Amino acid sequence: MNTDKNTVIGFILLAGLFFAYFWYNNKQQTELQAYNKRINDSTQLVKSLAEKAAAANNPITADSTYNAKVSMDSVQLQITTLENELIKVDFSNKGGQVVGVTLKGYKNSKKQFVKLGDSSSLNYPVNIGNNQTAQINQIIFPSVNISKGDSGVQKIEYTWTTPSGNTIRHQFSLSANKYAIDWNVQLQGADQLLTNGQINLIWDVHAYQQERTTLYERQVSNVCFSEGKEFDYISSKTTWAFEKPIQWVGLIQQFFSTTLIAKDGFGSGKINWERKSDSSNGLATMQTQLQTKVSGAVVNIPLSLYYGPNDFQILKSQAPEMEKIVNLGRDLYSFVRPLNKFIIMPVFDFFAGFVSNYGWVVLLLTIFIRLVTSPLTYSSYLSSAKMKVLKPELDEIKKKLGDDQQGFAMEQMKLFREAGVNPLGGCIPALLQIPIFFALYSFFNSNIALRGQPFLWSQDLSSYDVIATLPFSIPLGYGDHISLFTITAVITSFLISVYNMSMTPTQDNPALKYMPYFFPIMLLFFFNRLPSALTWYYTVSNIVTLVLQLVIQKFIINHDKILAEIDVKRKTPKKKSNWQSKYDQMMEAQKKVQDLKEKHKK
C-alpha cells in the first residue's frame, strides 16, 4: 500500500466515514436522550394526575369485582415456577401471566443470572356484567392447575369465571430446551367478554442493564417487529403505528430480547417506547397495543413469549424474520449484511466448532479474510514494488521541478504510464478495509458467542478491554479507560505507515506528508470503546500486512526483473486513451495558467 496522493485519498475517505458515523451517532443519541427526558417528565406528571383522579372516582377494581364471588381471604397471591434446562419462569395468579424469567446460561455484569420480564405486564379489558369492566392484569385467578404433557412439556393453567358466568383461561406450556413459552388465551363467552368482538392487548415491557455500561447498552437497544411479514425496527423514533398485520414485536437489548409472538397475527396496533436517560439501571420501556377481531362464543388466541439470547440460529427457529433482530448491518450499512450472513458468520462458526478459545477463532477468521483478499492485495504490493523501483526517478523529477506541483504531477503521470504502473493500486487495501471494518463492527457488537469470553488481558471480547482506568474522561469519544488492544492496533498501523512512507517519493505537501501519521492517531480515539474482538482483529490484520509486505518485497518480487519490464514497456509505443488525453490537456492548460500568473507577478 503506497502513500501517494491516491492512497491518501483512500485514507481520507475511510477517515471521513469514521468521523461521519461516530459524529452522527453521538449527536443522535444526545438529542434523543434530551427528547426522552422531556417525554418522561411529561408522562410521569400525567400518570400522577391520572392516578389521583382514579382514586377520587373510586372505579371498579379487580379485587372488588372478584369479591362478588369469593372472599379475599380465600384467594392468595401465588407465584408458581416452572423450569427447563435453559430458563426458569415465574408465573403469578394475579393476571395469570409471566412475571419474570431467569436465563440459566447467562450472567450479567454483576455475575448474577440474567433476568428478563421483570416489571412487565400483559393486560386486556373484559366485560364482567352490569356494565362493568375489569383489567385482566388486576384479576387474581383462583384456580391454578399444573400438569405435564408429552415429551416433558410442563403446563400451567389459570382459570377465572366472571360474575356473569363467562370463563377466562390462560394456558401456558414450557417445552424442554426452549426459551419460548407458549401462551393460549381461551375465552368462553367471548361475545360477551369483548366489546365489538375485539381483544385489545396491552403489553408493557421494561429492559434493564445486563452489560458493562448502561449508556452504550441503551444506545443499541431498540424495538424490532414483523409487520406484513416483513422485518422492521425503530430506534430514534418513539412511536409507531402499524398499517399491516403484526406477527411479532420485541424490546431488544444488545444481547437479549423479550418478544411477543402472535401465531395468528394481530390486525392493528401501535408502539410507544423510550430509552431511559436517568441514572438508574433501566435501559428502555415499551408499551405495545395490539388489536384483533374474534368471532364466536369460544375463542382461542395462540401466542408465544420469547425470553432469551439474540442468537441467530435460535431466533430463526422462533418465527419468520426474527433472526434479523441480530444486527448484521442495517440502514446505511445494510450492504455489509450479506457479507456477514454468508461469509463471516459461517466461517466464524466453523472455526468455533473446533477451537474453544474465541480469541484464536478471531485470529483464524482474520487469516481467512486476508487469504481471500490476497489476490487484490498482491496487486497492491506489486504496485508498491514498482513504485519503489521508480522512487529514485520520482525523487529526481521532484528535485528538478522544485515547487512546480503541476509540472511534477504531469511528469509523474507520464512516468507511470510509460512504466505501466497503476497509481490507484495502493488504494486497494484502504478501500477493502471499509466494508470489512463495518461488517466486523456489526458482527462483533451483536455476536452473543463472544459475550463474556476472555482472551489474554481482555475479560470480554464483546466489549472493550481495560488495562487502566483514568480518573477523568478524555473527550472525542476516548473515554475514561485505556484499551491495550487499541494501542496494539494503533502501533501496528503506525508501523505500516512508516514502512510505506519509505517507499514513496518525498512529499512537500503537509496534508500528504503527515496524513499517514495522523490516521493511526484517529484510530486511537475511534477504537478505544469498540469490542476488543475488533481491535484484536485489526492488530492481527496489521501484523499480517507487515509480514506479507516484507516477505513479498524481500523474497518474492524480483526488483531487477520489474525494472527490466518497465524498460521494455517504456520502449513500446503507447496509444493514449480518451481519458488520458483529456487529463493531459487539462494538466497542460493548468500549467499554462500557472506560468502566466508567475510571469505576471514578475
| Positions in the chain short of pLDDT 50 | 1-3, 31-32, 35-36, 38-39, 41-43, 45-73
Instruction: Give the residue from 236, 247, 271, 264 showing the smallest Cα distance to 324.
Output: 247
Residue 431's pLDDT is what? 73
Instruction: Give the residue from 260, 9, 273 showing the smallest Cα distance to 123.
Output: 260
Q: Would you say 291 and 249 are in contact if contact means Cβ atoms under 8 Å apart?
A: no
Query: Distances in Å between the alpha carbon of 38 and those of 35, 271, 282, 589?
Result: 5, 18, 17, 60
Q: Would you say 275 and 283 are in contact if contact means Cβ atoms under 8 Å apart?
A: yes
Q: What one-character DSSP code corresponds to residue 94?
A: B
How far apart are alpha carbons 341 and 252 in whole angstroms?
A: 20
Instruction: Give the residue from 307, 313, 318, 322 showing the smallest Cα distance to 87.
Output: 307
How far apart are alpha carbons 53 and 365 in whole angstroms?
A: 61
Residue 594's pLDDT is what? 66
3-state secondary structure 294-347: CCCCEEEEEEEEEEEECCHHHHHCCCCCHHHHCCCCCHHHHHHHHHHHHHHHHH
Q: Which amino acid is at 12?
A: I
Please, which contacts does 160-163 make with residues 24 or more away whose CB atoms are closer than 8 Å?
160/66, 160/96, 161/69, 162/65, 162/126, 162/128, 162/129, 162/134, 162/189, 162/193, 163/65, 163/68, 163/69, 163/128, 163/129, 163/130
Residue 284's pLDDT is what? 93
Residue 205's pLDDT is what? 94
Residue 471's pLDDT is what? 84
What percentage of the chain has pLDDT greater than the value 90? 45
Residue 410's pLDDT is what? 73
If you count them, how many residues does the chain have? 602
Residue 2's pLDDT is what? 43
CB-count burial class (<10 Å; 0-12, 13-18, 19+) for 589: exposed
Report the Cα 106 to chain-centroid distance in Å: 20
How far apart are alpha carbons 538 and 527 in whole angstroms?
A: 10
CATH 2.70.98.90: which residues of the chain?
75-326
Cα dihedral value 581, 586, 588, 592, nearest 10: 160
Side-by-side strand order, sheet with 143-148: 143-148, 154-161, 167-174, 180-188, 298-309, 256-266, 246-252, 222-227, 230-234
3-state secondary structure 353-399: CCCCCHHHHHHHHHHHHHHHCHHHHHHHHHHHHHHHHHHHHHHHHHH
Domain 75-326 has CATH 2.70.98.90: yes
List strand residue ranges (DSSP E) for 396-446, in order: none
How far apart are alpha carbons 116 and 112 in whole angstroms?
A: 12
Q: Which residues pair with 183 in a beta bridge?
A: 172, 303
Cell of 387: 513504485
3-state secondary structure 106-165: EECCCCCEEEECCCCEEECEEEEECCEEEEHHHCECCEEEEEECHHHCEEEEEEEECCCC
How far apart are alpha carbons 118 and 112 in whole angstroms?
A: 15
Cell of 472: 477523568
Instruction: Give the residue from 123, 144, 135, 138 showing the smallest Cα distance to 78.
Output: 144
How far apart are alpha carbons 553 and 557 in whole angstroms?
A: 5
The backbone torsions φ and ψ at residue 342, rounded to the nearest 5 degrees and listed phi first, read -105, -10
Query: Distances in Å between the alpha carbon of 583 and those of 426, 514, 590?
Result: 20, 27, 11
Q: Would you say 534 and 444 are in contact if contact means Cβ atoms under 8 Å apart?
A: yes
Whole-prediction pTM: 0.77
Q: Would you say 155 and 178 are in contact if contact means Cβ atoms under 8 Å apart?
A: no
Q: Would you say 185 and 301 are in contact if contact means Cβ atoms under 8 Å apart?
A: yes
Instruction: Give the residue from 387, 369, 308, 373 showing the smallest Cα distance to 553.
Output: 387
